[in-house]
Chains A and B, each alone.
Chain A
Amino acid sequence: AQSVTQLDSHVSVSEGTPVLLRCNYSSSYSPSLFWYVQHPNKGLQLLLKYTSAATLVKGINGFEAEFKKSETSFHLTKPSAHMSDAAEYFCVVSPFQDTGRRALTFGSGTRLQVQP
């Protein structure tokens, strides 16, 4: 079985300061991991994905995430927050490489607030 835990339901940062959104996963195999973002009244947009290649993954809009197997973590970071980053972020795991199933498992989401 697999699961995803997003450690913070809300994160507030000031514009121009670093962003850290934390995610821990539980999996019995080498997972595929994703971060999706949902802006208000918009759909889910893929930020980045980890697929067992490089452990540091770069995504869109300056975001990146590092896969750390020893810590079972996949935290999302950005060096400098922008007002447009205010949204809800989801850490997601895919079971496909182990089970052949494609049903994604979502974390509970982290709402990022960016203060001017």
Chain B
Amino acid sequence: EAGVTQFPSHSVIEKGQTVTLRCDPISGHDNLYWYRRVMGKEIKFLLHFVKESKQDESGMPNNRFLAERTGGTYSTLKVQPAELEDSGVYFCASSQGAVVETQYFGPGTRLLVL
């Protein structure tokens, strides 16, 4: 069974540009999550989808971040315009949504904003 995949693995962009990150969850997982770790900080929750609906977006830092999950399959996270402080590793995870669940993480996208 394929795990959670993320694309690209690395991205280097200039301040003010736009970047779109993609996450493909494990097949059959209705729950999809985005987390990020900025330099020297803890891994922080960004948002949670159940199928195509945003269940919890309390961790989204500001309106420069837009997450979508069209059709309830893969998800994209767009940062527009990117700022220096957006640099970090963006992780995607998915789960089946059982009562006590395990979230399975992808390898992350390493974003560097110059």
- Whether both chains belong to one complex is answered with yes
- Measuring CB to CB, which residues of chain A are less than 8 angstroms from any residue of chain B? 32, 34, 36, 41-46, 49, 51-52, 90, 94, 96-97, 101-109
- Measuring CB to CB, which residues of chain B are less than 8 angstroms from any residue of chain A? 3-4, 31, 33, 35, 42-45, 48, 55-56, 58-59, 91, 93, 95, 99-108
Chain A residues with CB under 8 Å of B106's CB are 43
Rounded to whole Å, the gap between the CB of A77 and the closest CB of chain B is 21
What are 16 A-to-B residue pairs whose CB atoms are below 8 Å?
A43-B105, A43-B106, A44-B91, A44-B93, A90-B43, A101-B56, A102-B55, A102-B95, A102-B101, A103-B45, A103-B48, A103-B59, A106-B35, A106-B42, A108-B42, A109-B42
Among A44, A45, A96, chain B packs the most CB atoms within 10 A around the CB of A44
Q: Do A97 and B100 touch (CB < 8 A)?
A: yes
Chain B residues with CB under 8 Å of A102's CB are 31, 33, 48, 55-56, 95, 101, 103
Number of A-B contacts (CB under 8 A): 60
What 4 additional pairs, Cβ within 8 angstroms, besides A101-B48, A102-B103?
A44-B93, A49-B100, A102-B56, A104-B103
User: What 4 pairs between A and B have smallest CB-CB spacing?
Assistant: A43-B107, A44-B105, A103-B45, A106-B43
Rounded to whole Å, the gap between the CB of B32 and the closest CB of chain A is 11
